[in-house]
Structure 1
Amino acid sequence: MEYEKKRNQDNKKPNSIIPKYVKFGYHYLISNAMYLLLVPLSITALTHLSKDDFVHFSNHVMHNLVVVTLCIMIIVILATLHFMSRPRKVYLVNFSCYKPDHTLMCSNETFMKATKLTGSFTEESLAFQKKILERSGYGQKTYTAKTFLEVPINMSFNEARKEAELVMFGVIDELLAKTGVKTKDIRILVVNCSLFNPAPSLSAMVVNRYKLRGNILSYNLSGMGCSAGLISIDLAKRLLQIRPNSYALVVSMENLTLAGYVGNTRSMLIPNCLFRMGAAAILLTNRSSDRHCSKYQLVHALRTHKGADDRGYNCVFQKEDINNRLGVALSKDLLPVAGEGLTNNLTTLGPLVLPFSEQILFLVNFIGRKIFKMKIKQYVPDFKLAFEHFCIHAGGRAVLDELEKSLELSEWHMEPSRMTLYRFGNTSSSSIWYELAYTEAKGRIKKGDRAWQIAFGSGFKCNSVVWQALRTINSADEKHNTWIDEIDSFPVHVPDVAPIDC
């Protein structure tokens, strides 16, 4: 594979070996400093203790048995209180990603043909959309809503409801079949969809379809963009802290039928080309008895909001154009704002996940630049030391390219995101789950591995979730994985072109 060849070539560079092993040695020494110091000190101390010292200590304990017993009781009580007051652990039992029927496949040629037949777009707008598709990094097998493949386009509320039912119920059915969990045991439900908000709500549609319990904690999140999937995970985590022995069902999706734009404003044409059909359903639990059958444990969930900044607030904005046609406009500030959001998020996440050795390097660099005014390059912590797997929202090529560069990630680390973009397109809040599914289908998840999911969304928001694998996931056991029947054909080569993104 090309990325393997490139990585091997990089490792053969004559000047790359010394820095690599010097840094490895530094991290090893810092990470194990406590053991390297305490073990020799402990051995030295024990060798200097005589037999009389041990006898004297034993007699002292026996003469003060009541005091010792009280101390032990206090320690036990404090330990019990600490154990009872600490947050409940949250586990990811399993998840599913929706794979639409092949009749909903939308190649670039199919998209352009259907777009032209609408008669709503000028020649300039058609040429612009074609250019976007050519630079999108998409393959020929992404999926779109049924209405966009028909003539005339039927962007009715009824069609949008049908699409929502098709996607939501399809992915939930698959998840319930995977896990075997009974619907009456689900006590928390969170559904997120930004642009389609019917009454009754989408969450109510799920409750009605699966006859969920009457006292279920049900939430419907709207207008929160592509990062809403991780917001839903964070909300479910918080709700699991107040409901013991519970299951939480999270459904992340976007509805395309009513999201289509039929005007000619360029900034509002881009979402037409990039968003594709998809959804994910995730089952979480706080039941300790389910730990052995769960895939991951939730380690961290962090949210960063840039809505107080006008640039961030306006960079993804749903509005009407001059002809009163509704659409979502993307501004040129999107990438810079996303970069600022990422920086803020990493500033909070770094101390929680990075090894102490990396934190020292970052601090020394910061002091040198800010206090001593040294003209040195800003040090970017090596997040590859904190995570084995990266699931970066497949919003577009420019975002992926920028994150690959700024975080100094390899092609191997970026592969799940790029292949998800190629195969399924931008499926909004569910894209990070297609990426994790890709990693599982490749057999890369080993026990103890940490996976970082990061997503960006309107508002503007940057959210992160960190998972730790509780077991090695064998790709042969992932029979219902959305990638499994075609995983051997990936990765594929995607030509480099100047990207246009959402």
Structure 2
Amino acid sequence: MTKLLERSGLGEETCLPPAHHYIPPYKYCTIDAARGEVDLVVFSTLDDLFAKTGVSPGAIDIVVANCSLFCPTPSLVDMIINRYGLRSDVRSVHLSGMGCSAGLISVGLARNLLQVAPEGTHALVVSTETITPNYYVGSERAMLLPNCLFRIGGAAALLSNSPAKARFRLKHVVRTLTGAQDNAYTCVFQQEDDSGNVGINLNKDLMTIAGNALKANITAMGPLVLPASEQLLFALSFIARKVLSGKFKPYIPDFRTAFDHFCIHAGGRAVIDELQRSLKLSDEQVEASRMALHRFGNTSSSSLWYELAYIEAKGRMRRGDRVWMIGFGSGFKCNSAAWECIAPAADAQGPWATCIHRYPVDIPDVLKH
């Protein structure tokens, strides 16, 4: 695990739940401890959201929460409803088992519900991953990697079908699911090792599968956001490959012509490296992802929101700027969302408030602790 940590890209300020501070940790990974992590992460995030927006809990009409591996009874949304005394007619959904891309699935679901709701409806989207009960205690290398990467984190977003007080406009959500293929379905898989220890197995073909899912996703996203010149080049490349039986390399559109900022799921250094190479992004364009991984670790579905907060904390967001969020998750899924900035944040308050002045930092290939 030491070698994995040294090459992970994580810094020394990431957070693990209290139960993981003990040796051996599994004795303390109880249901009560997991609920305690929800209290710490989700409720503090929601307290902050209600304070910043001025929207009262009683004004919430829809709640969509996603937490992949911790699915208690009552559910996560029931815990939120109970804590804040939400109305009895609130529409609520808890998504589980959807992996690190579930945050954008939640956003897409909330958007669909808002489209058929009266104007002025408020939808609350909560994304987190409760890692307390999911510590792997075995010795399989492929199953140890999540122990090294995943950390405490969560985010909440308030969506509405009214433009009043809106800071971003959701333009598109594109979902790609490759689970019909066996190798894609099993590349991120919860299972037992030979000793009966439960963990998440990350297949060695994960990056190849993620690359194929990304290609399918950008093929669907491209026509929605790219300028005509890039669409024409992509179409000509596609036709040439069909006619000449794939003798030409596929043309990867220049998405820098469509977006000003990129939020790439901070799943690990290899994920960010691969997307930077595939999309031909500059170091500055993937800076938010690398710094989020360094400061907070892989916070699963909430990582994209930490990256958006980084861009705003750096003062780089401008009115009219376009943002592309790209998430990957088990199944295997590649989901993406396109946003347009309406009103940048007035200050850097948020997860980066106390440390943004120290970033960006240099991250060596091997970090000796």
TM score, norm. by length of structure 1: 0.71
Q: Does 1:390 align with 2:262?
A: yes
Give CA deviations for 1:312-353 in whole Å, capped at 9, x if unaligned: 110011111222211111111211110111011001000000
Shifted more, 365-374 versus 399-408: the winner is 365-374
- The one-letter code of the counterpart of 1:410 is S
Corresponding residue number in structure 1 for 2:297: 425
Question: What is the alpha-carbon distance in structure 2 between the residues aligned to residue 376 and residue 266 of structure 1?
Answer: 37
Determine whether 1:470 maps to 2:342. yes
Q: Which residue of 2 aligns with 1:456?
A: 328
SS in 1 for 2:159: strand
The size of the alignment, in residue pairs, is 364
Map Cα deviations across residues 244-279 of structure 1 (whole Å, 9 max, x no partner).
Answer: 121001110001110101111222111111100000
User: Aligned with 2:158: secondary structure?
Assistant: strand
Q: Does 1:341 align with 2:190?
A: no
Match for 2:149: what amino acid?
L
Give CA-to-partner distance per residue, 1:52-83, whole Å, 9 cap, x none: xxxxxxxxxxxxxxxxxxxxxxxxxxxxxxxx
Q: Which amino acid aligns with 2:10?
A: Y
Please say if residues 252 and 430 of structure 1, whose CA atoms lie closer than 8 Å, have aligned partners that are also in contact.
yes
Aligned-pair identity (%): 54
Find the aligned partners of 1:346 and 1:489 in 2 and give their Cα distance. Answer: 34
Q: Which has the higher contact order (CA 8 A, sep 6+)?
A: 2
In the alignment, is the contact (CA less than 8 A) between 1:446 and 1:473 conserved in 2?
no
Amino acid at match of 1:183: P
Structure showing greater Rg: 1
Do the aligned partners of residues 373 and 316 (structure 1) sit closer, same or farther apart at CA in structure 2, a change above 3 Å counting?
closer
Distance 1:306 1:373, change over 3 A: closer
What letter is aligned with 1:469? C
Task: Give 1:372 shift.
Answer: 5.0
Residue pair 2:312, 2:344 contacting (<8 A) in 1 also: no
Could you tell me how far apart the structure 1 residues matched to 2:8 and 2:83 are?
37
Matches within 5 A, 1:90-489: 129-153=1-25, 154-244=28-118, 245-288=120-163, 290=164, 293-372=165-244, 376-474=248-346, 477-478=347-348, 480-489=349-358
Shift of 1:366: 2.9
For structure 1, the residue ranges without an aligned partner over 5 or more in a row are 1-128
Q: Secondary structure at the residue paired with 2:221? A: helix
1:372–1:202 Cα change, 3 Å: closer
Distance in 2 of aligned mates of 1:353 and 1:483? 30
Structure having the higher helix fraction is: 1
RMSD of aligned residue pairs (Cα, Å)? 1.5
* C-alpha deviation, 1:374, in angstroms: 9.0
Q: 2:134 aligns to what SS in structure 1?
A: coil
Distance 2:124 2:344 in 1: 23
Kindly state the Cα deviation for residue 152 of structure 1 after the two structures are TM-superposed. Answer: 5.0
Following TM superposition, by how much is the alpha carbon of 1:446 offset from its aligned partner in structure 2, in angstroms? Answer: 0.5
Cα distance in 2 between the residues matched to 1:473 and 1:263: 44
Q: Distance in 1 between matches of 2:30 and 2:267?
A: 26
3-state secondary structure, aligned to 1:471 = coil
Of 435-444 and 151-160, more deviation after overlay is shown by 151-160
Counterpart contact for 2:70–2:133, Cα < 8 Å: yes
Structure 1 residue 165: deviation in Å? Answer: 1.5
Q: Which residue of 2 aligns with 1:35?
A: none
Q: Distance in 2 between matches of 1:473 and 1:152?
A: 43
Match of 1:338, as an amino acid?
A
d(CA) in 2 for partners of 1:277, 1:374: 44
Note the residue ranges of structure 2 that are not aligned, 5 or more in a row: none
Kept in 2: contact 1:194–1:223 (CA 8 A) = yes
Aligned mates of 1:450, 1:321 — CA distance in 2 = 44
Cα–Cα, structure 1 residues 281 and 316, in superposed 2: closer, same or farther, change >3 Å?
same
CA contact (8 A) 1:387 1:452 kept: yes
Alignment check: 8 A CA contact 2:261 2:324 kept: yes
Deviates more, 1:315-324 or 1:216-225: 315-324
Contact (CA 8 Å) 2:10, 2:295: kept in 1 or not? yes
Alignment of 1:494 with 2:368, yes or no, is no
Distance 2:56 2:269 in 1: 40
Deviation (angstroms), 1:166: 1.3
Q: Supply the AA of the counterpart residue of 1:238.
A: N
